[in-house]
Chain A
Amino acid sequence: NAGVTQTPKFQVLKTGQSMTLQCAQDMNHEYMSWYRQDPGMGLRLIHYSVGAGITDQGEVPNGYNVSRSTTEDFPLRLLSAAPSQTSVYFCASRLRDFSFSNTEAFFGQGTRLTVV
């Protein structure tokens, strides 16, 4: 079972470069999201999507773009990388259950990004 797959696992960028972090899930989950994890800050929501064609901002969206053209994929784009974006990025998915009785979230293995 693949679950949530993130690529790449590691990446080093120079300041000003752009790149896309890939996230794919095979569980037919409507809801997908991106978090960043930083020491002392915990996990913070960057962007999320409740279905194909629908995206919205989280707590820390500046410097990041997302799109959701399919149910399976939710890429995160860094437009012009900055050292402050050095972090570990996690993609998560879950069912969109309006009763919230079955909203177990599943996370990918993360992408460790260093911006120099």
Chain B
Amino acid sequence: KQEVTQIPAALSVPEGENLVLNCSFTDSAIYNLQWFRQDPGKGLTSLLLIQSSQREQTSGRLNASLDKSSGRSTLYIAASQPGDSATYLCAVPTGGGNKLTFGTGTQLKVEL
């Protein structure tokens, strides 16, 4: 059974800092990995999808990497801003691709 964990569970950083969020998965046979952000009381917003054949995917200040062999993905956020404060979730397709298995989430707070 695929298990997805995220470390740390919570993170507080000053504005401007570069930071890394971690996502680990137990079964390396994944199709892809998707990163989301969730603002309090809101839905999930897709940030990046990195395919199993890719090593990296970039969007603006965000860069996601994928190392299937070690069962890890990282989300790098450059020059963090208070508007980046949210919960970040990673997810992988499981059950033949019919569901997403989500990580436990990292709650990020970027302070002025």
Contact = CB atoms under 8 A, between A and B. Distances in A.
Real binding pair: yes
The secondary structure that dominates the A interface is strand
A103 B93 contact: yes
Contacts of A106: 46
A101 B43 contact: no
B28 to A, nearest CB: 15
Contacts of B93: 100, 103
Interface in B77-112: 89, 91, 93, 95, 97-100, 102, 104-105
Which bracket fits the contact residues of B? 20 to 34
A74 interface: no
Given A42-B102, A103-B31, A109 B97 contact: no
A110 B45 CA distance: 12
A80 B44 CA distance: 28
A48 B97 CA distance: 11
Contacts of B11: none
Contacts of A105: 34, 46, 91, 100
Contacts of B89: 43
B20 interface: no
Given A45-B98, A101-B53, 10 more contacts: A42-B102, A43-B102, A58-B99, A100-B32, A100-B97, A103-B93, A104-B49, A107-B46, A109-B42, A112-B41
Interface of A: 33, 42-43, 45, 48, 50, 56, 58-59, 90, 92, 100-101, 103-110, 112
15 contacts: A43-B89, A45-B95, A48-B98, A48-B99, A50-B98, A58-B99, A100-B51, A100-B52, A103-B49, A105-B100, A107-B44, A108-B43, A109-B42, A110-B42, A110-B43
